[in-house]
Every structure is written in structure tokens, then in C-alpha cells.
């Protein structure tokens, strides 16, 4: 990618983030110290939140920690009365680049919160049982808590006092996504790498195959078959199932973790992925600046994989 393309991509990202933040500042109906939003944890481990589009259409949206946009599936859009496409745009997904229908000037209401002038793109897939997805950028400037025990997403104006008793993990931000560094063990080998936080992926962890190869982990990770995933636009992503002896983030440790290896390419960058299967075993708090993640095991932590 040349310098002009990088500047253009960065400009588009900053413009989208500014519009979303401004929309919330103009339209959010409450400034209460804590806003509580109930969610349903689906059978696939996705966080599903009820919302209203353009004051009329009711939709169930997946909260997706690895995106900074709002999208609706083709099937959901076919049932809506208020979605108006104004053309198509280029979008990137796990499996490559695609063209997707696009709509400007939308409003979205979740509980007492409302955003205006939102851009929405069309995708082929979302989490099972959901009509689309949105990212944490809608809650920019607020502390974001995911309580999987209570089934609640909470927005705070400041970090709750109990967060200081939880494990604090540094967040790394890149193009609207968040990652943490973790250590995995395979056989007698141990290695550290970054993991993209991805609540849209139902599994526990996806390992970048280049990382696995560079750290000599292949001999310790015996493949137990292959699985083909599909990204938001239907592109295939092939994975090999493996078993990790352990996976650790700070003092939080998980043993005998089923995982998978994939080619590691997401939107032109290489990364490993931490999915909902493991993330939902912890209650999570993201600070307002998205510099730190606070985590503690919840009631699901000891459940069989």
C-alpha cells in the first residue's frame, strides 16, 4: 500500500469515527453516570442487542469488538422499510475485498441512546440469529463493561471502583480494532503474541500460521481436522483444529484450550484472534480511552470447552 493509500484509508477511518462520535453527542438521550443495556448471549456466544433503526425497524445487532462500523445483512435489509441504499463501497473482510451496498443518514436507537447520521453497509452474514453488527466506537468516550453473568452491557462515565481488583491488561489499538498480548503453551514450548479481540468469532482462539511456524510450534500442535469458516461476505477461511496446553493473559490462565490455525491475514494485516468462546468466560471492562482492559473470570470460566 503506498503512502497516498495509507493517508486515504486513515482519513476515511477518522472521518467515520468523528461522524459516529458526533452523532452520539448530538443524539444520545441520556448523560446518566451509568447506562445499562441488556443483551442476549446467543448459542454461538455472540452478544445480541435489540435496536431500532430510523425510528421504525426493529433489529437485533451483534456487538462486535473488532469493527468500527455498523452493518446489516442482506436478509435483514430485505425485511426493512427504512433502509435506502445510495450506492456501493469497497469493504475488506477476512477472505478479501468486496463491494457492498451502502446507506447514509440513518439513525439508530438502543435503549435511551440514539445516534444520527450513521453510515450503514450491507454484509452477507452476521452472528447466527442477528440482523447485523456494530462496534465499540458507538460508545466512544465511555467506559464499557460487559457483564456476562448479568447479561448486561454497562456504560460508565468513569472507571468503576471494583475494576482495580481485576486483572489489568494493556490494549493495543490499530485501525479501529483492539488487541492484547498473551502467552500460549504447546507441549513444552511457550510463545507470546498479540491477539485481536473478536467477539464475532465463536471459537476460542485462531493462531496465525506464520507465528506458529516461526516459533517452532507446529510439531507440538497436532491438527485434529479442518474446518471452513465464512466471513461477513461469504469468503471461505480454512482452519486446522488444534489443542493448546494453556493460554494466559497476565495472571488469567486457561488450560487445555481448543484452538485453530489459519493463514493469519485479516484486512491486509497478520494477527492471531481471541474469540467469543474464551472472551465470554470473563467479565470485561474497557476504559474510556481504550488503553486498558480489565478482566476477571465469571461463572462460565470453569465450564467444559
Q: Hey, what CATH topology would domain 167-297 get?
A: Cathepsin D, subunit A; domain 1 (2.40.70)
**Residue 14 corresponds to which cell in the numbers above?**
477518522
Q: What is the pLDDT of residue 125?
A: 84
139 neighbors 178 (Cβ within 8 angstroms):
no
Give the C-alpha separation, 103 to 117, whole Å.
10
Quickly state the pLDDT bin for 14 (edges 50, 70, 90): very low
> pTM score, two decimals?
0.85
Residue 293: CB atoms within 10 A of its CB come to 24
* Residue 39, CB-side half-sphere exposure with 13 Å CA sphere: 28
Could you give the C-alpha distances from 205 to 14, 121, 208, 241, 275, in angstroms and in order? 29, 27, 10, 10, 6
Tens-place pLDDT, residues 205-219: 999 999 999 999 988
Percent of the chain at pLDDT exceeding 90: 69
Instruction: Tell me what the mean pLDDT of segment 78-92 comes to.
Output: 83
| Mean pLDDT over the full length of the chain | 86
Quickly state the pLDDT bin for 228 (edges 50, 70, 90): confident
Yes or no: domain 3-156 corresponds to CATH 2.40.70.10: yes
- Tell me where in the chain the CATH 2.40.70.10 domain(s) lie: 3-156, 167-297
Q: What is the pLDDT of residue 144?
A: 98
* Residue 149, CB-side half-sphere exposure with 13 Å CA sphere: 8
Least confident among 18-22, 195-199, 287-291: 18-22
Q: What is the pLDDT of residue 188?
A: 93
Amino acid at each position: 500500500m503506498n503512502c497516498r493509500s495509507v493517508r486515504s484509508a486513515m482519513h476515511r477511518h477518522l472521518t467515520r469515527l468523528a461522524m459516529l462520535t458526533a452523532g452520539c453527542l448530538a443524539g444520545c438521550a441520556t448523560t446518566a453516570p451509568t447506562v445499562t443495556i441488556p443483551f442476549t448471549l446467543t448459542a454461538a456466544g455472540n452478544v445480541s442487542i435489540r435496536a431500532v433503526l430510523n425510528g421504525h425497524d426493529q433489529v437485533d445487532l451483534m456487538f462486535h469488538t473488532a469493527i468500527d462500523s455498523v452493518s446489516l445483512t442482506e436478509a435483514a435489509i430485505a425485511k426493512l422499510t427504512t433502509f435506502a441504499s445510495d450506492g456501493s463501497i469497497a469493504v475488506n473482510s477476512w477472505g478479501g475485498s468486496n463491494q457492498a451496498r451502502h446507506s447514509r443518514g440513518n439513525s439508530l436507537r438502543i435503549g435511551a441512546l440514539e445516534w444520527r447520521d450513521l453510515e450503514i453497509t450491507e454484509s452477507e452474514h452476521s452472528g447466527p440469529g442477528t440482523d447485523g453488527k456494530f462496534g465499540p466506537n458507538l460508545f466512544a468516550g465511555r467506559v464499557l463493561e460487559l457483564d456476562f453473568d448479568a447479561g448486561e452491557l454497562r456504560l460508565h462515565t468513569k472507571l468503576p471502583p471494583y475494576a482495580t481488583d481485576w486483572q489489568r491488561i494493556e490494549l493495543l489499538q490499530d485501525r479501529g480494532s483492539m488487541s492484547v498480548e498473551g502467552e500460549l503453551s504447546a507441549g513444552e514450548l511457550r510463545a507470546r503474541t498479540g491477539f485481536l479481540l473478536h467477539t464475532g468469532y465463536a471459537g476460542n482462539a485462531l493462531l496465525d500460521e506464520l507465528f506458529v511456524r516461526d516459533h517452532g510450534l507446529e510439531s507440538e500442535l497436532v491438527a485434529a481436522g479442518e474446518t471452513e469458516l465464512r466471513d461477513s461476505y461469504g469468503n471461505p477461511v480454512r482452519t486446522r483444529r488444534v489443542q493448546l496446553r494453556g493460554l494466559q493473559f497476565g495472571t488469567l490462565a486457561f488450560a487445555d484450550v481448543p484452538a485453530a490455525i489459519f493463514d493469519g491475514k485479516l484486512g491486509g494485516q497478520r494477527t492471531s484472534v481471541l474469540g467469543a468462546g474464551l472472551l465470554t468466560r470473563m467479565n470485561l471492562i474497557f476504559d474510556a480511552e481504550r488503553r486498558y482492559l480489565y478482566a476477571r473470570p465469571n461463572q462460565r470460566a470453569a465450564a467444559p470447552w
